[in-house]
């Protein structure tokens, strides 16, 4: 990476900036303000994207939860490099983040799992995520089976957990008229961040 000589320390740590923009997206009335596109790398080295919901932004990184046996779960296990993109059309903003994925502790995954609705918890057991499904009825049968099995509490399945994306590079994008957008990138250099603008 070529660092321009006008690169400087960012005005705010990028994680604070993302938190502020996400709050503003929530207040603006976006329907899915926490939805983010997550790209991982297939075992053939090809990029694969899908949306997941961001469940936390902190110094630990950007958090989401999923099924560890899913396609993405297997991809992450063999290559933890990933890229995330948020888009908030009402505010005309985009954020891109690149880095490495690290699995959360079982305790953290468990405490988040317990906040989910009963049906979402049952769904985590019933859905063999990313595997071929013979019919919708088969899925609904599995939901019934697990509902009978777990009459009261639904424990977190071992195959369900969360990941933090630990960022090494960010890009913030604020749209403007005439495509004269503001773009600035923030890269990690040793333990510090350096920021510079990009042509739109």
Ligand X SMILES: Cc1cc2nc3c(=O)[nH]c(=O)nc-3n(C[C@H](O)[C@H](O)[C@H](O)COP(=O)(O)O)c2cc1C
**Nearest distance, CB of residue 91 and ligand X, angstroms:** 18
Q: Which is nearer to ligand X, 31 or 180 (CB)?
A: 31
The binding site for ligand X (CB under 6 A) comprises 32, 35, 50-53, 64-67, 70-72, 129-130
The number of beta carbons lying within 10 Å of the beta carbon of residue 61 is 21
**Nearest distance, CB of residue 55 and ligand X, angstroms:** 7
Residue 56: enclosing H or E segment and its boundaries? strand 56-58
DSSP 8-state symbol, 177: G
CA angle in degrees (0–180, nearest 5) for 36-122-115: 60
Give me the helices (H) in 45-153, please.
71-78, 106-113, 118-126, 136-149
Active site residues: 179
**Nearest distance, CB of residue 167 and ligand X, angstroms:** 18
Q: Which is nearer to ligand X, 74 or 195 (CB)?
A: 74
Q: How many alpha carbons lie under 13 Å from residue 130 in its C-beta half-sphere?
A: 12
Q: Which is nearer to ligand X, 110 or 184 (CB)?
A: 110
């Amino acid at each position: 990476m070529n660092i321009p000589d006008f690169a400087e320390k960012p005005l705010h740590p990028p994680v604070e900036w993302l938190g502020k923009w996400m709050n503003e997206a929530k207040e603006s009335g976006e329907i899915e303000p926490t939805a983010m596109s997550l790209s991982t790398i297939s075992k053939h080295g090809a990029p694969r994207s899908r949306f997941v919901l961001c469940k936390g932004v902190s110094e630990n990184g950007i958090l989401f939860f999923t099924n560890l046996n899913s396609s993405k779960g297997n991809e992450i296990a063999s290559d933890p490099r990933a890229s995330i993109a948020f888009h908030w059309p009402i505010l005309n903003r985009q954020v891109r983040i690149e880095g490495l994925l690290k699995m959360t502790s079982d305790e953290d995954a468990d405490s988040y799992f317990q906040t989910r609705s009963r049906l979402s918890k049952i769904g985590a057991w019933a859905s063999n995520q990313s595997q071929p499904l013979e019919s919708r009825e088969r899925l609904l049968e599995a939901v019934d089976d697990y509902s009978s099995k777990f009459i009261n509490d639904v424990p977190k399945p071992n195959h369900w957990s969360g990941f933090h994306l630990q960022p090494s590079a960010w890009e913030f994008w604020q749209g403007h008229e005439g495509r004269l957008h503001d773009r600035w990138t923030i890269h990690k250099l040793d333990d510090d961040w350096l920021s510079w603008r990009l042509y739109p």
